[in-house]
Amino acid sequence: MAIKPTNTFNKDRVFMVYLNEQIKAPNIIILDEAWTNLGTFPRKRALEIAEEQGKDLVQMRYDAETMTSTVKIVDYGKYMYQKWKDDKEKRKTQKPTVLKELKINYAIWENDLQMKIKKAIEFLKERYNVKFFIKLKGREKIYANRAIEKLVKIKGDLSEYGKSQFETPKQEAQGYSIILFSK
């Protein structure tokens, strides 16, 4: 039985699979394609069983304590194709998490702040995460307490639409920020 390549490349993913002779565990639990347990065999006998059936042993899991490897006896090409298809299907259904950033000034007027809060409510209702950021330049750094107060006020106003991971705003290199996660 020939050893096939074990790195299968997909545009952005690499699957590492241990196959046949690459499985070094002395004891091997063999599962068939329907996931039924065929038993525990020594490594040499497991390789013989796979060769008799004309299939490959693909390692699913390795237990270092008992030095036992759980493998599936399958056709390697079909297995990797099915794994690729399943992964592709999962990526289709996943919605990427997007972070919307709203920049404000520490001295923002109340009506302008309310406009930003309304925009943040729209984003949070659409299941986006929102980051408010106040940049402090030069001498503005003496007004850090005002910036923190603004962000705490924003967090309080948006508490029914989103929640923050931290109680206080996070200090960054050039200011303060708070991230609100949609509920």
Contact assessment for residue 55 and residue 74, using Cβ atoms and an 8 Å cutoff = yes
> Which spans in 126-178 are helix H?
144-157
Using CA atoms, how far apart are residues 168 and 1, in angstroms rounded to an integer? Answer: 62
How many residues in the chain?
A: 183
User: What CA–CA distance (Å, rounded) separates 145 from 52?
Assistant: 75
Cα-to-chain-centroid distance, residue 89: 16
Is CATH 1.10.357.10 what the domain over 99-182 is classified as, yes or no?
no
The verdict on pTM exceeding 0.85 is: no
Q: Which one-letter amino acid corresponds to residue 155?
A: K
Question: What residue segments make up the domains of the chain, in order of their start?
Answer: 7-91, 99-182
- pLDDT value at residue 176: 93
- Per-residue pLDDT of 5-40, as tens digits, reads 455 545 555 557 788 889 888 999 999 888 888 899
DSSP 119: H
Tell me: the pLDDT tens digits for 77-134? 898 898 889 888 888 887 777 889 999 998 889 999 999 999 999 999 988 899 999 9
Sequence-distant (≥ 6) Cβ neighbours of residue 148 within 8 angstroms = 168, 169, 176
CATH code for the part of the protein at 7-91 = 3.10.20.80
Same fold? 7-91, 99-182:
no
> Is the Cβ–Cβ distance between 178 and 154 less than 8 Å?
yes
pLDDT, position 12: 52
